[in-house]
Structure 1
């Protein structure tokens, strides 16, 4: 009879939740800790989930809830700043022909679905708890926590995001770097007639876009050059976003009328991170934004993060003995993922850089099309 296997997942976002659900399905004992007391249940405005993200969500057993809660569509429109539609392109179904090309969702709704699935899996969940130290040998990791307890695990999965404290604690020195762009986001009512993503290029922002997230909602965003965060008082966020959005036509005037509450406006920089060489140290392994992130120009952040969890879970559950969760297996996980992640990070950054540099003849459709075609293949 095999010895029970134990895993600690640090971080309860998309990647951490996916890892916990899949490992529990295989009978592995999983503890998940999340630093936020509310498990990020209300954070964020909206999220664009392309087909390869939907493919993982189906594997997690939550696709039906996602389909009911979100808004599926299959095209993207390119417009002028005044709202004139120049071109409508059909999106590639990167998750296969039996899934929509894209689903827009309210981010808190997706988080709620994943939280419910993690709890239903039987994983042990502790909120408001962080890991403070890791003492490991070739057999496992002893982890100390901020609540004064400690636990012993065969493996630790670090899914604690872009600013991962775990990444730094195990000696991986890579840090995210700003790309030069920043984004303003807000959730708003969906105007009648909005049934896909539309992107306006030009005007006072690099991009002004929106994505339907349900029958009644959307999220809207404008992208500009990044500014010192400290120079923008949070109580002016609505004014700042509205000052950019008011220059756009089409459906934008109706959207802009709802940009009034600064607490509902989110401002973040675009960052780039790609940890090279390996995503593990001993028996601590990175997934998702802790290992890689890129600007949302291809809307692949959540998709790649959940793919990491799916691939790692496949590899861990292919053996019944935790002794096999060794350096060779974790390095193989990295090699399998880096070949897929690197082109997406590089393409996402390049699309933004072309805009920053004012390159007018860049082959954005070609780069996007080639990258998305690659993502149609199973990870």
Structure 2
């Protein structure tokens, strides 16, 4: 019998949904408290590498993800004028049965996971989050933001980089900006765009794009972070930055017309020291760790958290600190390596180093991500 009979997952994003699916399928009663009013996802697109796809396959949603997204097995490096400099085979970190990468629209991934949550029998309450948590030793007493209360064997804070759960359990760690900002636009996929292509140089640190479906893609431009209040005319600014790039960017730039399809955010990072729990309340996903998307490992690490925690919870006869220590032993150092490598890549852009070993870093991370956590 699992050590957990019922659980509250605060946050219905990637980590929270994955954990809810795995626990509910095993017979655990799972409630999700999601602050948003409905199933939604900010941003335009997402890049899912093989180790993320491996977990999605274990969740039973791989076929739906494959049908909704766009798979590819290489990365292109281009000059600012669009000239192809190199085509690099990408590591299949999920194993030989999965592609190296799938690009897809974030709302479609959110919808697939939400359907799987319902199919597993977990219940989602929208428009609420945790407001107070009291660990009573063998259970956690919860008050939600709508005034309702409940008692659970386990509470999981999967509520993102600005987690409400984190300060409730006395973990005062705040995200830190890296000094870079990213413009993303969801747009039409030009003919010939069959994978992610990256440009290092030109008016931005990075100019890239990722196909997300038969006729869609998201494109992004990374520059020095600007105060959010000075963003102003998003269309004009993104088009101006895109003027410095040729090739597919010529078509992409012409499609940058709708401010509602443009998203601007800062790169931020966060890493909670071990342990990520206080009693029977534990953090996962971006609530515990977050990094700039320079390695495209954010969603993958969230999914891995959910898979490992579910495995340990379902195998344990009782829920005690040894379960959470085992979780830390399998997750903390791996996540720390991802955060540090992502920050190193960002720093090499902000502060160029002539002998920066970019290929070596990428090879080490690919090898690490190929290993199961």
TM-score bucket (shorter structure): over 0.9
Please give the secondary structure, in 1, of the residue aligned with 2:16: helix
Q: Aligned-residue CA RMSD in angstroms?
A: 1.2
Unaligned runs of 5+ in 1: none
* 1:283 counterpart = 2:277: no
User: 2: distance between equivalents of 1:360 and 1:211?
Assistant: 28
Structure 2 residue matching 1:64: 3-state secondary structure? helix
TM-score, with length taken from structure 2 = 0.98
Q: Determine if contact 2:134/2:142 at 8 Å carries over to the other structure.
A: yes
- Residue 202 in structure 1 maps to residue 196 in structure 2: no
Aligned to 1:19: 19
* Aligned residue in 2 for 1:224: 223
Aligned residues of 1:272 and 1:293 also touching (Cα < 8 A): yes
**1:89-100 matched pairs, under 5 angstroms:** 89-100=88-99
Q: 1:52 to 1:2 in 2, by over 3 A?
A: closer
Please report how far the alpha carbon of residue 331 of structure 1 lies from its aligned counterpart in structure 2 after TM superposition: 2.1
Q: How many residues align?
A: 373
1:39 to partner: Cα distance: 2.4
Kindly indicate whether the alpha-carbon contact (under 8 Å) linking 1:45 and 1:219 is maintained by their aligned counterparts in 2: yes
Q: How far is 1:272 from its partner?
A: 1.0
User: Conserved in 1, the CA contact under 8 Å of 2:21 and 2:116?
Assistant: yes
Partners of 1:360 and 1:216 lie apart in 2 by 39
How many angstroms apart in 2 are the aligned matches of 1:86 and 1:73?
Answer: 18
1:250 lines up with 2:244 in the alignment: no
Matched residue, 1:371: 365
Which residue does the alignment assign to 1:302? 299
Counterpart in the other structure of 1:318:
315
CA contact (8 A) 1:73 1:103 kept: yes
SS of equivalent to 2:269:
strand
Partner of 1:330: 324
Matches within 5 A, 1:52-67: 52-67=51-66
Instruction: Name stretches of at least 5 consecutive residues in structure 2 with no aligned partner.
Output: none
**TM-score, normalised with respect to structure 1:** 0.96
CA contact (8 A) 1:187 1:220 kept: yes
Residue equivalent to 2:352 = 358
**1:326 Cα offset (Å):** 1.1
1:376–1:261 Cα change, 3 Å: same
Distance 1:216 1:360 in 2: 39
How far apart, in 2, do the equivalents of 1:133 and 1:29 lie?
A: 21
* Pairs within 5 Å for 1:126-275: 126-233=125-232, 236-275=233-272
Q: Secondary structure of 1:221's match? A: strand
Distance 2:237 2:106 in 1: 22
Asked if 1:30 is matched to 2:30, the reply is: yes
Cα contact 2:4–2:314 (8 A) shared by 1:
no
Distance across 2 between alignment mates of 1:227 and 1:238: 16
Deviation at 1:40, TM superposition (A): 1.6
Residues 47-86 of structure 1: matches in 2 within 5 Å?
Answer: 47-86=46-85
CA deviations 1:148-205 (Å, max 9, x no partner) are: 2100000001100000010011101111101111100011010000001000111110
Per-residue deviation at 1:313? 0.1
CA distance in 1, matches of 2:247, 2:259: 23
Q: Distance in 1 between matches of 2:61 and 2:90?
A: 23
Report the CA distance between 1:3 and its aligned residue. 8.7
Cα 1:376–1:2 shift into 2, 3 Å: closer
Q: Is the 8 A contact 2:129 2:164 kept in 1?
A: no
Q: Structure 1 CA distance, aligned partners of 2:15 and 2:2? A: 27
Whether the 8 Å contact between 1:280 and 1:331 is mirrored in structure 2 is no
CA contact (8 A) 2:210 2:218 kept: yes
Q: Per-residue deviation at 1:2?
A: 7.9
Q: Say which is worse superposed, 137-146 or 300-309, in terms of deviation.
A: 137-146
Q: 1:25 deviation in Å?
A: 1.1
Separation of aligned partners in 1, 2:159 and 2:4 = 25
User: Is the Cα–Cα contact under 8 Å of residues 2 and 315 in structure 2 kept in the other structure?
Assistant: no
Tell whether the 8 Å contact from 1:279 to 1:331 is kept in structure 2 after alignment: no
Once superposed, which parts of structure 1, at least 4 consecutive aligned residues long, lie more than 4 Å away?
1-4
Q: Work out whether residues 32 and 126 of structure 1, in 8 Å CA contact, stay in contact via their aligned partners in 2.
A: yes
Q: Distance in 2 between matches of 1:357 and 1:2?
A: 50
